Structure 1
Amino acid sequence: MSMAKSDSRRAETPPPPPEPLAVPVPDSHTHLDIVGGDPAADIEAARKVGIDRLVQVGVDLDSSRWAAELAAAQPAVLAAVALHPNEAPRLADLDSELRAIEDLAGQSRVRGIGETGLDYFRTGEDGRAAQEHSFRAHIAIAKRFGKALVIHDRDAHADVLRVLDEEGSPDTVVLHCFSGDRAFATECVRRGYVLSFAGTVTFKNAANLRDAALVTPPDQMMVETDAPYLTPMPYRGRPNAPYLVPLTVRSLAETTGRDLDELCAAISTTTERVFGGWAPGK
């Protein structure tokens, strides 16, 4: 077998389950539709290691509908719905799709509007006006329905804050897969925003994210996979799924010097404050 084939097969092999957490925490942002396979099996695998609740996040109209349907069927799942910023410039009728997202936003198990925001890495100057229009519309939807705004921010920190200032932030704002440094984290914390850390915080070249975690209070911190992307160390490059959240939580506890169980309890409390309870009727 060639080395290339060996590496490819290794990349496709799911990592082993980590040691379970004693205090459960939610995965605040995942994409089980992209993970593929059986969502019920993914949910059960996560539960076995202490990840007992999930937020399934939409990135376009189809995946947002899928998220809402999964949340309606699975007590351990809540949904967030939106058009991803990289989708906005591609849509022939952006406003029509935004109205469809608004129709989903009123469902009781839909608790977040996102992921929306700005992405200057994959979208060039010609698509930024559509991104910003879409972002402003999602902010309005979040405020109208009293739902958390879940922001995708890539290489656009200053403009994300500018648009939020111009529109007026919803009561709850989440910086999903936080990607800034200590200074940006400090500004977000000052504004009352919640920072959600993904497996990237475990990467060797991510000292800026660990610095950001140091200035993030536990009551403004969440954790996520963004699965199937951003698998935490030591399995970077292999498939990610919610059952790997314990690796990221343990890294955050080590980075911040906080007791693991206390950090898990705080993250769980923060996530329920952001999205509400998972039990039916909550």
Structure 2
Amino acid sequence: MSKRNRKRELPPVPEALPASAVDAHTHLDACGAKTPEEVRAAVDRAAAAGVGRVVTVADDIASAQWAVEAATWDDRVFAAVALHPTRTKDFTDDDRRVLEELVQHPRVVAVGETGLDYYWDFSPPEPQQEAFRWHIDLAKRSGKPLMIHDRDAHQDVLRILAEEGAPEKVVLHCFSGDAEFARACVDAGYVCSFAGTATFRNAGPLREAAQLVPLEQMVVETDAPFLTPHPFRGQPNEPYCVNYTLRDLAELRGVTLEELVVATTATAERLFGLDQV
């Protein structure tokens, strides 16, 4: 197979994990799973690899509405709703009203992904920060965890959380910081969610961070269809690929695969209240 064709191929579905895992952050619609049949097929593939539940996450209002509906199609799917920080330049009162309604749905387990993204220039920092503060308040009012997107904005994320008063439960999705930032998040009581980027061999500071976060404050995710873990970096991603990230992180941390799966699943259950939905 040519290198170009390989980049279009999904990685093979790996041997099932020794216990059931949770993909704490994925985008099923962006993976191409948009109908009930396609969603079930995607989570069936995940289940075959030992990934029993997934949280599908919105980045705009239309995807938020879709995510909530998709979470009613299969008991293994849960939803998170918010407006992605790169889209906040056009955050309207109507958008806020829709999110206020959607977050009350019992299948919604988090407010996210919200936060700050200073890498892209689609939205200036000011509307991003204003929207982030609004989502923090929404999470506190709804009693649901805050799921944070943080790209090149570590210190402003921590500052705004401190200024607003963080919700009881906070998770930094696709954790991208170093050991120092990880310690600050752990000390604040936040959960760190590690994606395929933590398996990349050139991500030394991130891998160091993944070694020190306590298991009771650690979950794993795919952020599919992006960030496919090593050794399939660059290929399409799906929820079943969290299996590969767990295997790599278990070796990195020097624990058994079962220990890591059981611990991160327990953290995800506590964080999102999965057993109460």
Q: Structure 2-normalised TM-score?
A: 0.96
Equivalent runs, 1:164-203 vs 2, <5 Å: 164-203=161-200
Matched, 1:32 2:36: no
**Hey, what does 2:133 align to over in structure 1?**
136
* Mapping for residues 109-120 of structure 1, pairs under 5 Å: 109-120=107-118
Contact 1:98–1:134 at 8 Å: present in 2 too? no
Q: Give the share of equivalent positions with the same residue, in percent.
A: 51
Looking at structure 2, the residues matched to 69 and 8 of structure 1 have their Cα atoms a distance apart, in angstroms, of 35
CA deviations 1:147-193 (Å, max 9, x no partner) are 01000000000000010001000000000000000000000000000
Q: Deviations over 1:217-268 (max 9, x none)?
A: 0000000000000000111010000111111001111111112111111101
Q: Give the aligned CA root-mean-square deviation in angstroms.
A: 1.3
The whole-number CA distance in structure 1 between the counterparts of 2:255 and 2:267 is: 16
Q: Tell me the distance in 1 between the aligned counterparts of 2:3 and 2:120.
A: 27
Q: Paired residue for 1:146, among 125, 143, 146? A: 143
Counterpart amino acid of residue 12 in structure 2: P
Deviation of residue 94 (structure 1)? 2.5
Give the aligned partner of residue 78 of structure 2: 78
What code does the residue aligned with 2:177 have?
A: G
CA distance in structure 1 between the aligned counterparts of 2:150 and 2:158, rounded to whole angstroms:
10
Residue number in structure 2 paired with 1:270: 267
TM-fit CA distance, 1:8? 2.6
Partner residue, 2:253? 256
Give me the whole-angstrom Cα distance separating, in 1, the residues matched to 2:164 and 2:101: 21
1:10 to 6, 13, 26: 6
**Consecutive aligned runs of 4 or more in structure 1 exceeding 3 Å deviation:** none
Q: What number of residue pairs does the alignment pair up?
A: 273
In the superposition, the TM-score normalised over structure 1's length comes to 0.94
Residues 214 and 255 in structure 1, CA contact (< 8 A), matched pair in contact too: yes
How far is the alpha carbon of 1:10 from its aligned partner?
1.5
Aligned amino acid, residue 157 of structure 1: H
Distance 1:74 1:143 in 2: 27
**Partner residue in 2 for 1:47:** 47
**Distance between the aligned counterparts of 2:80 and 2:153, measured in 1?**
22
Equivalent-residue separation in structure 2 for 1:50 and 1:253 (angstroms): 15
Equivalent AA in structure 2 for residue 122 of structure 1: W
Query: Residue in 1 aligned with 2:64?
Result: 64
Match for residue 221 of structure 2 among 224, 242, 250: 224
Secondary structure at the aligned position of 1:106 is classed as coil
CA–CA separation in structure 2 for the residues paired with 1:175 and 1:250: 21
Quick one: which amino acid aligns to residue 28 of structure 1?
A: A
Instruction: Name structure 2 gaps, 5 residues minimum.
Output: none
* Structure 1 unmatched runs, 5+: none
Letter in 1 for 2:108: V
SS of the aligned residue for 1:55 comes to strand
Distance 2:4 2:124 in 1: 34
